[in-house]
Amino acid sequence: MLQSFTWFRQAALRWSDGQRTVYIDPWGTTGEDEPADLILITHAHQDHFQPDEIERLQASGTKLVAPHDVAAELSGDVTPVAPGESHEVAGVRFTTVPAYNTREEALKFHPKENRWVGFLVELGGHTYYHAGDTDHAPELDSITTDVAFLPVGGYYTMDVPEAAVLAKAIGPQIAVPFHYGFVVGTASDGEAFRQAADPVKVEVMTPRDAYEC
């Protein structure tokens, strides 16, 4: 279920089946990377929203999806979204879910009132949850997904123990840690999450960019 994915860094993913190419929060792409049919953006922070990379990945038919504050900064075929919506864009069906901090010391990073999002995306016959930047918000326990990409780096988002609790609550077929080893967390957080999330199956991907911390 992960063979069509590339993890660049932080929360930047690409899915491609040879016919369609979908990017989520692209960061770390180059001019050699294939153009996008669809680009999904979770929120406005620079490690998730890179306007120059988005512009480079756009082709004539590229469609963009982003929360309203980010959508206002984009040009082209843009669909603004908020939590709790379902859409089909570029032939891809997805649902938006809340993404925000619940820890008192982190509330200023991703306030609930910003209405930033994670995505539940249907790709290649499976459902993938890209959590964006979030803590273990209560609404997330009801998510049903085949694969859950969860931030584990801490400080701005869930750390390893908190993400492991969410993984067990969701119960995906596979949980994948990301948002660590760049900006926050360390390269060892992926293996730590594997142990903490047991008995949930964890796949630790190798980022295309070298870890920085």
Per the domain annotation, does 27 fall within a domain?
Answer: yes
Which residue type sits at 97?
V
Compute CA distances 27 → 75, 95, 97, whole Å.
18, 22, 22
Per the domain annotation, does 205 fall within a domain?
Answer: no
The predicted pLDDT at position 86 comes to 98
Distance CA 112, CA 135 (A): 11
If you count them, how many residues does the chain have?
213
Per the domain annotation, does 57 fall within a domain?
Answer: yes
The predicted pLDDT at position 192 comes to 98
pLDDT tens digits, one per residue of 52-89: 999 999 999 999 999 999 999 999 999 999 999 999 99
Supply the CATH number for residue 183's domain.
3.60.15.10
The predicted pLDDT at position 82 comes to 98
Q: Is residue 10 packed enough to be buried (19+ CB in 10 Å), middle (13-18) or exposed (0-12)?
A: buried
Per the domain annotation, does 53 fall within a domain?
Answer: yes
The predicted pLDDT at position 206 comes to 97
Domain boundaries, position 170: 5-197
Non-local CB neighbours of 48 within 8 Å, separated by 6+ positions: 10, 11, 12, 25, 27, 41, 42, 132, 133
Per the domain annotation, does 204 fall within a domain?
Answer: no
The predicted pLDDT at position 38 comes to 98
From first to last of its 213 residues, the chain has per-residue pLDDT tens of: 999 999 999 999 999 998 999 999 999 999 999 999 999 999 999 999 999 999 999 999 999 999 999 999 999 999 999 999 999 999 999 999 999 999 999 999 999 999 999 999 999 999 999 999 999 999 999 999 999 999 999 999 999 999 999 999 999 999 999 999 999 999 999 999 999 999 999 999 999 999 998
Question: What's the half-sphere exposure (Cβ side, CA atoms, 13 Å) at 158?
Answer: 25
> How many domains, in total, are found in the chain?
1
Per the domain annotation, does 203 fall within a domain?
Answer: no
Contact between 42 and 118 under an 8 Å Cβ cutoff? The reply is: yes
Per the domain annotation, does 210 fall within a domain?
Answer: no
92-98 and 117-123 as β-strands: parallel, antiparallel, unpaired?
antiparallel
Contact between 138 and 161 under an 8 Å Cβ cutoff? The reply is: no
Contact between 26 and 172 under an 8 Å Cβ cutoff? The reply is: no
Per the domain annotation, does 202 fall within a domain?
Answer: no
